[in-house]
Structure 1
Amino acid sequence: MRKMQGEEFDSLVSFFDDMARTKWLGEIHDELKHASGSWENKSVLDVGCGTGRLLLRGVEEASLLTGVDLSTEMLKASKQNFFFRNRVEKTHFSVEDACDLSFENNVFDLSLSTCVMFLLPEPEEGMKEMIRVTKTAGKVVMLNPSLRMDQSAAFSYAKKHGMSGFEQTSLLRWSNVSTKRHRYTSEELSEKLKTLGAKEVNHIEVLEGLAIITVAQL
């Protein structure tokens, strides 16, 4: 599978920003934020930060919020969103390859990634990098589609919950992409992360089992 290019995502800024503000993904971000624990005085990294909506949830707690993305346009939108909140001084944004981060080892207290690892040609390389740059006793928290995610299952979920318009379209689009990339069971994710050095791995099913929040304790 070919290497991803940032330009592929430059034209999708509005779509991803709107998706991050949907009810379904917004609620998952809230649950992931809760599962990650307190961000108080912590240095937090978001790999594939998009427009920064997840990091914004901890802007009043964290000491430093770092967002990385392949897309320069996504990062411009992130900076703008933090500018509107008057919190630019607590942030650092840079263009980075998730599989080859420029940071030193053991830098961040908490590393996050939502809707990204499963897109990578080699997701294990991205997970390995997240663990490498996270401090011992820190956490790595991810969101990935489960093996049960596909367009039919997503459509059934959307219909059951009365989703329509962009709420439904964005979920179906995510499900369609996931079937072309990588989907996981909780057991597979646990095995990969423990092989890479995680001491303990726990999972929370979201979207009624169509996606998985994974919390790896280092």
Structure 2
Amino acid sequence: MNGEEFDELVSFFDSMARTEWLSGVHDTLKDKTGSWENKDVLDVGCGTGRLLLRGADEAARLTGIDLSSEMVKASIQNFFFHNRSEKSEFVVGDACDLPFEDGSFDLALSTCVMFLLPEPQLGIKEMIRVLKRGGTIGMLNPSEKMNQREAFQYCKNHQISGFEQTAMLKWANVSTRRHRYSSGDLTALLKENDLFEVEHHEVLDGLAIVTIAKK
């Protein structure tokens, strides 16, 4: 994987982040991670920064990292438009080699990213490394149920059409070619890396899983 693969997809991913279905998942993730008040928050694979904007009024510091330089530029621009540039930082970097010191963040997030990596466990270990003791990790991953047929049925059941349907079907297609997880898989992976209080919340009628855990 390289950042140039995603440079031309900025508009697509920004629009996807604003779909009703993914916006709803982001709201769930924000809710399940609790208050961001006075916290240093990291989003690995931040895209255009839409998830981090949800906590811009609470957090002490918001940091986003993405492999794509164009995604990073879009994040900087979005935070400028929302007048939140002073408490944010966006950098180009690899999820499997984060350019941050151990124990730098209170909360580490990742949505629609880890399952894309050739070795997702390496990215998850990096998220844990840069997390403070007592900090929280929050992730979104496609479940084993996710595929084109199930995604299409979800769209049909919820009257989702147009771009919103196209975005979900593309996510489903990529998921089946990369990595999907059960709650048990995720629990085992996180506990192997000394996380605890692992909890899972099914979203999108079970097509995806929001996972929260403590270090």
Q: Note the 1:56-75 alignment, pairs <5 A.
A: 56-75=53-72
Unaligned segments of structure 1, at least 5 residues:
none
Amino acid at match of 2:213: A
SS in 2 for 1:65: strand
Of residues 112, 117, 122, the one that matches 1:120 is 117
**1:41 alignment counterpart:** 38
Report the alpha carbon displacement of residue 111 of structure 1 after superposing the two structures with TM.
0.2
Matched residue count? 215
SS in 2 for 1:50: coil
Quote the sequence identity (%): 66
SS in 2 for 1:138: strand
Report the alpha carbon displacement of residue 96 of structure 1 after superposing the two structures with TM.
1.0
Q: Note the 1:11-26 alignment, pairs <5 A.
A: 11-26=8-23
RMSD of the TM alignment (CA)? 0.4
Alpha-carbon distance in 1 for matches of 2:28, 2:209: 11
Amino acid at match of 1:93: F
SS in 2 for 1:197: coil
Q: Note the 1:49-198 alignment, pairs <5 A.
A: 49-198=46-195
Q: Which runs of 4+ in 1 moved over 2 A?
A: none
Q: Is residue 204–residue 212 contact of structure 1 (8 Å, CA) maintained in 2?
A: yes
Alpha-carbon distance in 2 for matches of 1:26, 1:204: 16
Amino acid at match of 2:62: L
Report the alpha carbon displacement of residue 216 of structure 1 after superposing the two structures with TM.
1.0
Amino acid at match of 1:74: M
Alpha-carbon distance in 2 for matches of 1:199, 1:147: 23
Report the alpha carbon displacement of residue 171 of structure 1 after superposing the two structures with TM.
0.4
When normalised by structure 2's length, the TM-score is: 0.99
When normalised by structure 1's length, the TM-score is: 0.98
